[in-house]
Amino acid sequence: VAHADAAHPLLEKLGALPATARAVLTTPQVRAAVAASLDDEPAWDDEGALSAEELADVVLTLVRDAHLDVGDEPWLGALALPDEDGELAPAAELLLPGSPVAAVLREGELPHVDEELAGRWGEQPLAACGVLAAFALVRATDVVLDPDELDPRDGDFPETDDPGLLDAVDVWCEDVLDRLPETPVPPVATELVAVRDLDLVDEDRWPEALALLSRPPLRDALTQPVRVLLPDGTHELVRPYTAWWLRGNPVLDGRRPAGLRAAGTDPLLAGLYEAVDAAGFDDEQVLRALGVRTSVAALLDEPGGAAELLDRLADPARPVSAPQLHAVYGKVADLDPEQVTLPDELRAVRDGDVVVVDAADALV
């Protein structure tokens, strides 16, 4: 650092950088100190190096003064900070006490950052260093969809671009591949944005957790499809990981949301789908992402929606009235025939009764 008396605009023309908070923070020396902050033994040439507490104070000051936001400098997640028991841990593995995400995770799953430290610094600099004040997002580009290659990386802290941190991501990958044409080499997800730590949510806290997931910036991870590039240069859109995970787990009234119907919605779906109280979730796009059915029109607008509806109509255990059947078939008739896969059996009206018959014997 140049002496203050030597400061002059000419220095910048000669290549010197202004000593802003962010410029100092991102110097190789600071980055190296953060990366080594959890080391038990200092390097042989580290005489006079800062202690972990001193380094944390310096880094948090720079982060605060640089007005960094969450994810601006992901490497800060390696910064050693004291947890609630006084033990040092990477910032990215600590929870902010009193934060919304801390309230919905099972107790003891992740340690809290030291309460005194949290009170002294507040949310902004700690969250910018990776301390969890909200659900964390994994953002990765050009992800090769090979289930055997999606293990978590070896490292001292969870990196924000590591898809291996996502619970059962290999199963999601297999499900995606099952829905795509077979290819000689694995397809590539051009961008993967997903919420991690869903498996750590307390089963009694899912209403609050779903409310958090329904708000930006987490909402896009739930509602926006993933673009997958195939080897022939074409692409397909597939269900995002976050929606896939939530659909398959008991997160809505203790049940898996996929295949449920929001109570009080389209009466044409009554009997075909079990009703669930979705009060408080007014965002229909979020409900659709979860697999909760709200209307026949929305269902038929989804890929495979017509086949799902006809399959349920063909289930004799599901009660359907004649007027309801007539109205549903009217909606299906408006579709392009190529969108409809004809089932082997259909629901029909015979002698005034609604029955299931072979498709070959039915006249619509």
Q: Which residue has the tokens 């301390």?
A: 131
Whole-model pTM above 0.75?
Answer: yes
Q: How confident is the model at residue 44 (pLDDT cuts 50, 70, 90)?
A: very low
CA atoms of 317 and 272, how far apart (whole Å): 9
Segment 149-165 shows an average pLDDT of 90
Q: What is the pLDDT of residues 301-359, one digit of tens each?
A: 988 899 999 999 999 999 999 999 999 999 999 999 888 888 899 999 998 899 999 98
Segment 50-73 shows an average pLDDT of 96
For residue 203, is pLDDT > 70? yes
The rounded Cα 97 to chain-centroid distance in angstroms is 22
For residue 77, is pLDDT > 90? yes
The DSSP symbol for 337 reads G
Q: How confident is the model at residue 267 (pLDDT cuts 50, 70, 90)?
A: very high
Sign of CA dihedral 177, 183, 185, 189: negative
Segment 252-270 shows an average pLDDT of 92
Tokens of 106: 């099972």
Q: What is the pLDDT of residues 212-243, one digit of tens each?
A: 999 999 999 999 999 999 999 999 999 999 99
CB of 251 closer than 8 Å to CB of 257 = yes
Residue 282, Cβ density class (10 Å: 0-12 exposed, 13-18 middle, ≥19 buried): exposed
CB of 364 closer than 8 Å to CB of 325 = no
Higher pLDDT, 43 or 335: 335
Q: What is the pLDDT of residue 49?
A: 78
Write the DSSP string, 174-191.
Answer: HHHHHHS---SS--EEEE
Q: What is the pLDDT of residue 284?
A: 86
